[in-house]
Chain A
Amino acid sequence: SYELTQPPSVSVSPGQTARITCSGDALPKQYAYWYQQKPGQAPVLVIYKDSERPSGIPERFSGSSSGTTVTLTISGVQAEDEADYYCQSADSSGTLFGGGTKLTVL
């Protein structure tokens, strides 16, 4: 069955760049979306359609796509960016989430 694969964890120091990947066979044909979720809170959409940023999301969040892998990049990571991040892909038949990546800011 189709899956989206994310690394379980990524660690970076403040001010560095964090890159979180998401791999899946359908990604060349489907857009990817990224969500940030902090403990006890609902997810927040931070990237849509591979690389678009919703209003109100800081410019340090960006997305890119290459073949079967999409990447969420957080430039100049701040302590407040520590959270779980989930990728999502979808088409008319349904939606799938990746397993999530815990971003730790050292």
Chain B
Amino acid sequence: QVQLVQSGAEVKKPGASVKVSCKASGYTFTSYGISWVRQAPGQGLEWMGWISAYNGNTNYAQKLQGRVTMTTDTSTSTAYMELRSLRSDDTAVYYCAGVRMVRGVIIHYGMDVWGQGTTVTVSS
């Protein structure tokens, strides 16, 4: 079945970087784009950005421009999200989620498959 499996929890100091992975299985990797969504403790969902697994095109949330980089490795069907210059308010659960595409075109923006989430804690 279609599945996204994320890397394990991370604890980082302020100013450091974190890189979270999201390995896809059960489908053709390029038939989904990957969105990254985070959720701070007790808070709502925040969209971070999106990458097309078809051609590597990205679209980042304006708030995170310059601090976030999303990449894919089609040879391993894995997407990555790197966040730099971490602050305490980056403490959150980070999710990857799939957006369906056909030949590089988004069918709709609903995220119908999600990873299990990766907890990132930023603390000195």
In the complex, what residue of chain B is closest to A43 when comparing beta carbons?
A: B114
Chain A residue contacts of B61, Cβ below 8 A? 94
B35 within 8 A of A: yes
Q: Please judge, given known A-B contacts A43-B45, A95-B47, A100-B44, whether A90 and B59 are in contact too, CB under 8 Å.
A: no
Interface residue stretch chosen among A17-25, A44-52, A75-83:
A44-52
Q: Closest approach, in angstroms, between the C-beta of A88 and any C-beta of chain B?
A: 7
The reply to whether A44 and B44 contact each other, CB–CB distance below 8 Å, is no
Q: Please judge, given known A-B contacts A94-B61, A100-B44, whether A42 and B110 are in contact too, CB under 8 Å.
A: no
Chain A residue contacts of B50, Cβ below 8 A? 95
The reply to whether B45 and A90 contact each other, CB–CB distance below 8 Å, is no
The SS class assigned to the A binding surface is strand
The reply to whether A90 and B109 contact each other, CB–CB distance below 8 Å, is yes
Chain B residue contacts of A35, Cβ below 8 A? 45, 111
Q: Closest approach, in angstroms, between the C-beta of B119 and any C-beta of chain A?
A: 11
Q: How many residues of B contact A (CB 8 A)?
A: 21
B103 within 8 A of A: no
A54 within 8 A of B: yes
The reply to whether B114 and A95 contact each other, CB–CB distance below 8 Å, is no
Which of B35, B47, B62, B109 has the largest number of chain A CB atoms within 10 A?
A: B109
A91 to B50, CA, bound (A): 12
A84 to B59, CA, bound (A): 27
Q: Closest approach, in angstroms, between the C-beta of B99 and any C-beta of chain A?
A: 9
A49 to B111, CA, bound (A): 11
A40 to B67, CA, bound (A): 27
Chain B residue contacts of A86, Cβ below 8 A? 44-45
Chain B residue contacts of A37, Cβ below 8 A? 45
Where the two chains meet, the residues of A that have a C-beta atom closer than 8 Å to any C-beta of B are 31, 33, 35, 37, 42-45, 48-49, 54, 86, 88-100
A-B contact pairs, 30 of them (CB 8 A): A33-B110, A33-B111, A35-B111, A37-B45, A42-B95, A42-B116, A42-B117, A43-B37, A43-B45, A43-B95, A43-B97, A43-B111, A44-B114, A48-B110, A48-B112, A49-B108, A86-B44, A88-B45, A88-B110, A89-B109, A92-B59, A93-B59, A94-B47, A96-B47, A97-B37, A97-B44, A97-B46, A97-B47, A99-B44, A100-B44
